[in-house]
A and B are shown apart, each in its own frame.
Chain A
Amino acid sequence: MSLRRSQKNIAGPISAVLICAALFFALAAPIVAPYRPTDINLRQRLLPPSWEAGGSAHHLLGTDNVGRDVASRMIWGARISLSVGFCAAFFGAVIGSTLGLFAGFFGGSTDRAVSWLIDVQLAFPFTLFAIFLLAVFGGGFVPVVAVLALATWVNFARVVRSQAMSLRAQNFVLAARAVGVGTPRIFWRYLLPAVLPSIVVVGSFSAAQAILTQAALSFLGVGVDPSIPSWGAMLDLGRNYLQTAWWMATFPGLAIALTVLGANLLGDWLSLRLDPRG
Chain B
Amino acid sequence: MSDDPLLDIADLRIAFDGVTAVSGVSLCVQRGEAVGIVGESGSGKSATMLAAMRLHPPNAAITATRLNLAGDDVLKISEPALRRLRGGIAAMIFQDPLTALNPLMTIKSQITEVLRTHQKMSPRSAKIEAIDLLTSVGINDPKSCAQKYPHQLSGGMRQRVMIAAALAGDPALLIADEPTTALDVTVQAEITRLIATLQRERGMGLVWVTHDLALMAGVVDRVVVMYAGRVMETARVSALYAAPRHPYTAALLRSLPRLDGQRGRTLQGAPPASQAAPGCPFAPRCAHRMTKCEEMPPMFSAGETQAACWLMA
B and A form one assembly: yes
Q: Which residues of A contact B (CB under 8 A)?
A: 107-108, 170-172, 174-182, 185, 189-190, 193-194
By the criterion CB–CB under 8 Å, are A179 and B166 in contact?
A: yes
Min Cβ gap B230→A in Å is 25
Contact with A along B168-195 (1 / 0, CB 8 A): 1100000000000000000000000000
Task: Say yes or no for B117: interface residue by CB 8 A criterion.
Answer: yes
By the criterion CB–CB under 8 Å, are A172 and B169 in contact?
A: no
A175-B100, A175-B101 known; A181-B114 Cβ under 8 A: yes
By the criterion CB–CB under 8 Å, are A180 and B84 in contact?
A: yes
Chain A: which residue is nearest B175 at the CB level?
A178
By the criterion CB–CB under 8 Å, are B102 and A190 in contact?
A: yes
A175-B94, A175-B162 known; A180-B169 Cβ under 8 A: yes
By the criterion CB–CB under 8 Å, are A179 and B55 in contact?
A: no
By the criterion CB–CB under 8 Å, are A179 and B169 in contact?
A: yes
By the criterion CB–CB under 8 Å, are A179 and B168 in contact?
A: yes
Q: How far is the CA of A170 from the CA of B103 in the complex (A)?
A: 11
Chain B: which residue is nearest A107 at the CB level?
B58
Residues of B within 8 A of A178 (CB): 53, 55, 86-87, 91-92, 94, 166
- Further pairs besides A179-B168, A181-B87: 9, Cβ < 8 Å: A172-B100, A172-B102, A175-B101, A177-B86, A178-B87, A178-B91, A179-B92, A181-B113, A182-B83
Q: How far is the CA of A177 from the CA of B53 in the complex (A)?
A: 10
By the criterion CB–CB under 8 Å, are A179 and B99 in contact?
A: no
Contact with A along B80-123 (1 / 0, CB 8 A): 00011111100111101001111111000100011001100000
Q: How far is the CA of A171 from the CA of B162 in the complex (A)?
A: 12
Residues of A within 8 A of B91 (CB): 178-179
By the criterion CB–CB under 8 Å, are B105 and A189 in contact?
A: yes
Show 27 A/B contacts (Cβ-Cβ < 8 Å), sorted by A: A171-B96, A171-B100, A172-B99, A172-B103, A175-B93, A175-B94, A175-B101, A175-B162, A177-B86, A178-B53, A178-B91, A178-B92, A178-B166, A179-B87, A179-B166, A180-B114, A181-B83, A181-B87, A181-B114, A182-B83, A182-B117, A185-B113, A189-B105, A189-B109, A190-B105, A194-B103, A194-B104
By the criterion CB–CB under 8 Å, are A175 and B105 in contact?
A: no
Q: How far is the CA of A194 from the CA of B101 in the complex (A)?
A: 13
Q: How far is the CA of A179 from the CA of B53 in the complex (A)?
A: 10
Interface residue total, chain B, C-beta cutoff 8 A? 31
Residues of B within 8 A of A180 (CB): 83-88, 114, 117-118, 169
Task: Say yes or no for B206: interface residue by CB 8 A criterion.
Answer: no
Residues of A within 8 A of B168 (CB): 179
Residues of A within 8 A of B55 (CB): 174, 177-178
Min Cβ gap A74→B in Å is 42
A107-B58, A179-B169, A189-B102 known; A171-B94 Cβ under 8 A: yes
Residues of A within 8 A of B85 (CB): 180
Q: How far is the CA of A199 from the CA of B91 in the complex (A)?
A: 33
Task: Say yes or no for B224: interface residue by CB 8 A criterion.
Answer: no
Min Cβ gap A242→B in Å is 53
Q: How far is the CA of A216 from the CA of B84 in the complex (A)?
A: 55
Q: How far is the CA of A185 from the CA of B114 in the complex (A)?
A: 11
CB within 8 A of A172: which of B87, B93, B101, B166? B101
Task: Say yes or no for B165: interface residue by CB 8 A criterion.
Answer: yes
Chain B: which residue is nearest A175 at the CB level?
B100
Residues of B within 8 A of A172 (CB): 99-103
Min Cβ gap B268→A in Å is 33
CB within 8 A of A174: which of B87, B94, B109, B113? B94
Chain A: which residue is nearest B113 at the CB level?
A181
Q: How far is the CA of A177 from the CA of B102 in the complex (A)?
A: 12
Chain A: which residue is nearest B49 at the CB level?
A178
Min Cβ gap A204→B in Å is 21
The 8 closest A-B pairs by CB, nearest first: A180-B87, A179-B87, A178-B92, A171-B99, A180-B86, A175-B100, A193-B104, A171-B100
Q: How far is the CA of A191 from the CA of B100 in the complex (A)?
A: 14
- The residue in A175, A176, A177, A179 that gathers the most chain B C-beta atoms within 10 A of its C-beta is A179
By the criterion CB–CB under 8 Å, are A181 and B58 in contact?
A: no
Min Cβ gap B38→A in Å is 21
Q: How far is the CA of A172 from the CA of B100 in the complex (A)?
A: 4
Chain A: which residue is nearest B90 at the CB level?
A178
Q: How far is the CA of A8 from the CA of B93 in the complex (A)?
A: 40
Q: How far is the CA of A134 from the CA of B109 in the complex (A)?
A: 48
Residues of A within 8 A of B109 (CB): 189
Residues of A within 8 A of B99 (CB): 170-172
By the criterion CB–CB under 8 Å, are B58 and A108 in contact?
A: yes
Chain B: which residue is nearest A182 at the CB level?
B83
